[in-house]
């Protein structure tokens, strides 16, 4: 529902009704017989299908047809309210045909969800509450990748989103490397949430949703480097499935190199240094909101996942934070020699803040390596206790033997016949 509201009312440029206008309700009713375009009508059906689908799944769980009717009524009420609000939203049109399509999409989604929802197993997502850090990092990456989060119903945009794959497929080694680093980290985050069970299924769902959303969102698209990087990361992830430690180390190395490259590109240094800013987040406050949101989400993901991966290799949290923050601070100093880059302390401060968030979310939970060490200590103590017990028994038997002039300990009498 939030996505529907956001996508239907963006950019929220509301205005007063024009003098002498017919009004929102009259305008909506006046378009009841208008013939819709096929693309717009189909897109409006698809927009409300997820609402009906998930509502249908809930109705299937409670086994009630009345809940299907309530879901359709909810979709109709939501669509009707949005159409009235669009009368006051610049760049939006109030049309009854959109309302028809939205209701039809809700109904189709609800019926589909009721029919097939029972076959869907949601246990793949059961690990989200127990793994808040991987879930937060995935949300940060989605925030970077899918900004401005506004779906469109323009079929021409859908074609433009896949046109680079069809007409002009191209991929540079650097772009492929970046996408491989992104998706290798995503594979491990997904695997952690799935706890090893159905990790491939959850990755397929996540990758499919991201690919589909990249086609639907107004300013996003697909390119060959994204798909190649995704494929390489997936193959590397599965090939190293039995070597968890090496896989985590490889992912940490890829992300670390990706961070350094991101900080120092385009690798064109000047002789005269620029200024270094000591005010954190000054560049964000003075920049474009669109660029700032994407940049913040990307950096939050990269710095956060680098800290998370380094922790899983066995490094202590304090050392990991010092290492990442120091590297970011040094690269920020190097940026004073790169034209067009804002050299400031922001990135090192972000690393400290992200580490604090990770520490708070992981409070009370031990890292994997600590669990392994604890298990080893537990088994060592159990072994020592068992050995001491056996030694004590042998000592008691030997003392009895000496006290009885070499006679062995008495055996219990045989049972009576």
323 close to 310: Cβ distance less than 8 angstroms: yes
Whether residues 257 and 219 share a domain: the answer is no
Cα–Cα dist 157/347, whole Å:
35
Torsion over CA of 325, 330, 333 and 338, rounded to 10 degrees?
-110
Rounded to the nearest 5 percent, the helix, strand and coil shares of the chain are: 70, 0, 30
Helices (H), 87-131: 96-116
pLDDT of residue 320: 96
User: Considering the domain boundaries, does residue 394 fall inside one?
Assistant: no
pLDDT of residue 414: 52
pLDDT of residue 336: 92
Whether residues 230 and 316 share a domain: the answer is no
Whether residues 132 and 228 share a domain: the answer is yes
* Residue that finishes a domain, picked among 120, 139, 171: 120
User: Considering the domain boundaries, does residue 269 fall inside one?
Assistant: yes
pLDDT of residue 384: 54
User: Considering the domain boundaries, does residue 393 fall inside one?
Assistant: no
Q: Is the peptide bond before 329 cis (omega within 30 degrees of 0)?
A: no
Whether residues 85 and 139 share a domain: the answer is no
User: Considering the domain boundaries, does residue 381 fall inside one?
Assistant: no
User: Considering the domain boundaries, does residue 395 fall inside one?
Assistant: no
Whether residues 338 and 255 share a domain: the answer is yes
* Residue that finishes a domain, picked among 331, 350, 367: 367
Q: Is the peptide bond before 148 cis (omega within 30 degrees of 0)?
A: yes
Whether residues 356 and 249 share a domain: the answer is yes
* Residue that finishes a domain, picked among 340, 367, 394: 367
Whether residues 105 and 211 share a domain: the answer is no
pLDDT of residue 45: 83
pLDDT of residue 374: 42
Residues whose CB is less than 8 angstroms from the CB of residue 87 and which lie 6 or more positions away in sequence, other chains included: 17, 23, 24, 27, 28, 94
User: Considering the domain boundaries, does residue 380 fall inside one?
Assistant: no
Give the count of domains, the chain.
3
Whether residues 148 and 181 share a domain: the answer is yes
Whether residues 210 and 142 share a domain: the answer is yes
Tell me which residue range forms the domain holding 134: 127-242
User: Considering the domain boundaries, does residue 409 fall inside one?
Assistant: no
Residues whose CB is less than 8 angstroms from the CB of residue 146 and which lie 6 or more positions away in sequence, other chains included: 210, 213, 214, 217, 220
- Cβ atoms within 10 A of the Cβ of 350, count? 22
Whether residues 112 and 150 share a domain: the answer is no
User: Considering the domain boundaries, does residue 169 fall inside one?
Assistant: yes
**How confident is the prediction along the chain (417 residues), in pLDDT tens digits per residue?**
776 777 677 777 788 877 777 788 888 888 888 877 766 777 788 778 888 877 776 665 555 677 788 888 998 999 899 888 888 888 788 888 888 888 998 998 888 777 665 555 555 566 777 888 999 999 999 989 988 877 777 778 888 889 888 888 889 999 999 999 999 999 999 999 987 668 898 899 899 999 998 998 888 889 999 999 999 999 999 999 888 788 999 999 999 999 999 999 888 888 888 889 888 888 777 777 778 888 999 999 999 999 999 999 999 999 999 999 999 999 999 999 998 788 899 999 999 999 999 998 887 444 444 344 444 444 455 545 555 554 555 445 455 444 455 555 555 555 554
Whether residues 57 and 108 share a domain: the answer is yes
Residues whose CB is less than 8 angstroms from the CB of residue 17 and which lie 6 or more positions away in sequence, other chains included: 23, 24, 87, 88
Whether residues 363 and 248 share a domain: the answer is yes
């Amino acid at each position: 529902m939030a996505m529907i509201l956001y996508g239907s009312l963006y950019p929220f440029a509301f205005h007063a009704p024009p003098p002498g206008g017919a009004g929102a309700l009259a305008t909506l009713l006046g378009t009841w017989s208008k013939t819709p375009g096929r693309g717009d009508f189909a897109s409006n059906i698809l927009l409300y299908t997820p609402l009906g689908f998930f509502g249908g799944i809930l109705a299937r769980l409670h086994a009630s047809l009345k809940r299907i009717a309530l879901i359709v009524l909810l979709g109709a009420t939501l669509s009707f309210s949005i159409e009235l609000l669009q009368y006051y939203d610049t760049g939006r049109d109030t049309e009854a045909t959109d309302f028809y399509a939205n209701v039809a999409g809700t109904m189709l989604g609800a019926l589909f969800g009721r029919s097939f929802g029972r076959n869907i197993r949601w246990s793949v997502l059961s690990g989200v509450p127990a793994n808040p850090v991987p879930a937060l990092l995935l949300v940060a990456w989605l925030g970077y990748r899918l900004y401005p989060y506004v779906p469109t119903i323009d079929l021409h945009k859908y074609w433009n989103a896949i046109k680079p794959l069809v007409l002009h497929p191209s991929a540079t080694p650097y772009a492929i490397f970046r996408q491989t680093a992104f998706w290798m980290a995503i594979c491990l985050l997904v695997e952690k949430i799935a706890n090893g069970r159905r990790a491939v299924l959850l990755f397929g769902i996540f990758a499919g949703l991201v690919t589909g959303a990249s086609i639907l969102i107004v300013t996003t698209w697909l390119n060959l480097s994204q798909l190649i990087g995704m494929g390489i990361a997936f193959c590397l992830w599965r090939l190293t499935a039995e070597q968890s430690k090496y896989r985590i180390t490889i992912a940490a190395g890829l992300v670390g190199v990706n961070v350094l490259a991101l900080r120092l590109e385009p690798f064109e240094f000047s002789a005269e240094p620029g200024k270094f800013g000591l005010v954190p987040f000054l560049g964000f406050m003075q920049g474009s909101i669109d660029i700032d949101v994407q940049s913040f989400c990307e950096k939050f993901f990269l710095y956060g996942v680098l800290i998370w991966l380094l922790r899983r290799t066995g490094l202590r949290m304090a050392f990991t934070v010092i290492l990442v923050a120091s590297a970011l601070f040094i690269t920020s100093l190097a940026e004073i020699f790169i034209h067009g880059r804002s050299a400031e302390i922001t990135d090192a401060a972000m690393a400290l803040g992200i580490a604090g968030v990770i520490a708070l979310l992981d409070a009370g939970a031990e890292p994997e390596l600590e669990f392994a060490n604890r298990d080893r200590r537990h088994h060592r103590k159990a072994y020592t206790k068992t050995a001491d017990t056996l030694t004590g028994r042998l000592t008691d038997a030997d003392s009895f033997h000496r006290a009885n002039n070499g006679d062995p300990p008495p055996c219990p009498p045989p049972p009576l016949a």
